[in-house]
């Protein structure tokens, strides 16, 4: 595996300032670095949005953002291909005011699936969606995760705009730093009847949707001390299509 970079920038009546480190492919590197899905929503009272991303050595990166009126970005570091990776350790800091996620993140093809293992988040729980369905819970790496699925229609993907499923493992006690056993999550999806395809990349990523924040992450290094936890937001502004479906143990 080598170091990889994906960069996609789309702006609409806004300016994006992007600073990044050296992401050129390097023989012998196993790191996959990505800058993806960067879209800044125009707003009559907002002339700019800021995203500053710096790629450090090996699995280190930092990002600061300010997108007060919305948009979307995903940045992260990990591995490509992602299907061979079974254990992901990480440590760092994640501060957010608004809507953002810290997650292990990836895609598969045939079928096309976008998947997340959500470790921490801001004010918005991604399961707060009328199209979301909960399939059960799983225990892994000292935490409990709810497994959700929702459809995305004609939405951006790694192959262009398409229809696809999103799988979400959402930690009920959010934390920043630890170990993620991908085998455990992928097996839970299989038990729930949620089928993954051929793995593309896998990255420990930050996704921002609204607000501001900062993160400093190292992938491949486990925390040296205990990591504090806090209850994940369970605010519901939309009622899922199916309710009371999180009971099965996967």
Supply the residues annotated as catalytic. 114, 207
Altogether, the residues listed in the chain come to a count of 250
Residue 69 Cα distances to 73, 83, 99, 218, angstroms = 13, 36, 11, 29
Q: What is the DSSP letter of 43?
A: B
Tell me the C-alpha distance between 132 and 126, whole Å.
9
Structure tokens at 153: 């229609």
H helices present in the chain, as ranges: 182-191
- How many other C-beta atoms can be found within 10 angstroms of the C-beta atom of residue 36? 22
Buried-state track 155-182, b at ≥16 Cβ within 10 A, e below 16? ebbbeeeeebbbbbbbbeebbbbbebeb
Name residue, tokens 């096309």. Answer: 112
Q: Which of 53, 49, 44, 45 is nearest to 21 (CA)?
A: 53
């Amino acid at each position: 595996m080598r170091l990889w970079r994906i960069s996609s920038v789309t702006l609409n009546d806004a300016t994006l300032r992007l600073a990044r480190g050296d992401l050129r492919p390097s023989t012998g590197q196993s790191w996959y670095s990505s800058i993806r899905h960067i879209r800044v929503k125009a707003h009559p009272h907002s002339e700019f949005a800021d995203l500053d991303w710096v790629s450090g050595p090996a699995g280190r990166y930092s990002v600061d953002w300010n997108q007060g009126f919305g948009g979307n970005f995903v940045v992260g570091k990990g591995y490509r291909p992602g299907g061979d990776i079974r254990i992901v350790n990480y440590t760092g800091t994640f501060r957010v005011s608004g809507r953002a996620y810290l997650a292990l993140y990836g895609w598969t093809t045939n079928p096309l699936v976008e998947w997340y293992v959500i470790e921490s988040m801001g004010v918005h729980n991604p399961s707060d969606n009328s199209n979301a369905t909960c399939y059960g819970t799983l225990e892994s790496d000292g935490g409990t995760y709810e497994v959700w699925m929702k459809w995305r229609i004609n939405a951006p993907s790694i192959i262009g705009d398409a229809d696809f499923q999103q799988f979400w493992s959402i930690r009920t006690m959010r934390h920043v730093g630890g170990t993620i056993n991908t085998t455990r999550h992928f097996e839970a999806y299989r038990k729930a009847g949620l089928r993954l395809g051929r793995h593309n990349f896998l990255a420990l990523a930050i996704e921002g949707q609204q607000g501001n924040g900062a993160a400093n992450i190292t992938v491949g290094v486990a925390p040296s001390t205990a990591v504090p936890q806090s209850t994940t937001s369970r605010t519901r502004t939309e009622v899922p299509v199916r309710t009371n479906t999180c009971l099965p143990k996967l």
